[in-house]
């Protein structure tokens, strides 16, 4: 008797499942089709992204390799085009190469590219903070105290690994202007900063002991 009940229950369950698939066949096919399309789109996007990265990599490496032998205007234009591709790796590298080799003299243009990279690229937090620090370093000799602090604020208000670098830049900025009390305050902040760079700690201690009376 129990076996017959189990058989009826099993048949009923199978019938319900079969009816469910019959009633929802079109919906299920559509759902599966959408999943398959999504998978193809995902891998297609990854393929195109990798292909684009490889193309930019080759373009950047060729420019760097041939830098000494090709027209500098050509180099600058190629590096500009890489920056404007908004690539996480090669846009920052292109900007740094331009700066390191003084290929663009317009600070406005350089700062425009800094802002593009900082604001438009989805970078790792510490990479973004490094670029902010480099922007501050690039501009430090030509901007006011308030402007420099404003640039560095996202770093000095965080626990970034670049915080001690930023504090040191501010300390040296004030020291160069003869504002020793402000400089001293920033050098002292380095000594109590969590995860401060050890070499920067040493340099801050030297400056405090040798030049600022500690």
The whole-number average pLDDT for the span 91-112 is 95
Find out whether 190 and 171 touch, Cβ atoms under 8 Å.
yes
pLDDT class for 212, splitting at 50, 70, 90? confident
Alpha-carbon distance of 144 to 120, in angstroms, equals 26
Is 81 within the bounds of a domain? no
- pLDDT for 8: 47
Question: Does residue 8 sit within a domain?
Answer: no
pLDDT tens for 23-56 read 665 665 665 565 666 565 555 445 456 666 678 8
Q: Does residue 163 lie within any of the structural domains?
A: yes
- Decide if 162 is inside a domain: yes
Host domain of residue 163: 146-214
Place of tokens 């490496």: 61
Q: What is the DSSP letter of 153?
A: H
Residue 74 has pLDDT above 60, yes or no: yes
Say how many residues make up the chain: 214
Residue 65: band (very low, low, confident or very high) from pLDDT cuts 50, 70, 90: confident
Q: Give the tens place of pLDDT for each residue, 149-191.
A: 999 999 999 999 999 999 999 999 999 999 999 999 999 999 9
Please tell me the total count of domains within the chain. Answer: 1
Residue 109 counted as domain residue:
no
Residue 25, in any domain of the structure: no
* Residue 30 CA neighbour count, 13 Å, CB half: 4
Establish if 206 belongs to a structural domain.
yes
Q: Is 87 exposed, middle or buried (0-12, 13-18, 19+ CB in 10 A)?
A: buried
In the chain, where does DSSP find H-type helix?
A: 2-23, 25-65, 72-83, 90-100, 107-120, 125-139, 145-156, 163-176, 180-191, 198-211
Asked whether 75 and 103 are in contact (CB, 8 A), the reply is yes
94 in a structural domain: no
Q: What is the pLDDT of residues 105-137, one digit of tens each?
A: 999 999 999 999 999 999 999 999 999 999 999
Closest CA to 165 of 197, 138, 140: 197
């Amino acid at each position: 008797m129990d076996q017959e009940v189990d058989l009826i229950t099993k048949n009923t369950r199978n019938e319900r499942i079969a009816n469910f698939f019959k009633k929802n066949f079109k919906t299920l096919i559509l759902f599966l089709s959408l999943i398959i399309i999504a998978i193809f789109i995902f891998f297609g996007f990854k393929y195109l992204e990798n292909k684009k990265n490889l193309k930019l990599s080759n373009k950047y490496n060729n420019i760097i390799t041939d830098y000494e032998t090709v027209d500098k205007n050509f180099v600058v234009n190629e590096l500009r085009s890489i920056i404007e591709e908004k690539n996480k790796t090669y846009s920052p590298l292109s900007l740094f190469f331009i700066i390191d080799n003084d290929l663009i003299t317009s600070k406005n243009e350089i700062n425009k590219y800094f802002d593009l990279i900082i604001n438009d690229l989805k970078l790792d937090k510490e990479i973004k903070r490094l670029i902010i620090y480099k922007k501050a370093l690039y501009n430090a000799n030509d901007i006011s105290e308030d402007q420099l602090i404003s640039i560095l604020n996202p770093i000095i208000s965080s626990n970034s690994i670049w915080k001690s670098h930023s504090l040191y830049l501010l300390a040296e900025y004030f020291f160069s202007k003869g504002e020793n009390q402000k400089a001293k305050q920033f050098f002292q902040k380095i000594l109590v900063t969590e995860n401060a760079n050890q070499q920067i700690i040493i340099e801050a201690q030297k400056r405090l002991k040798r030049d600022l009376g500690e």
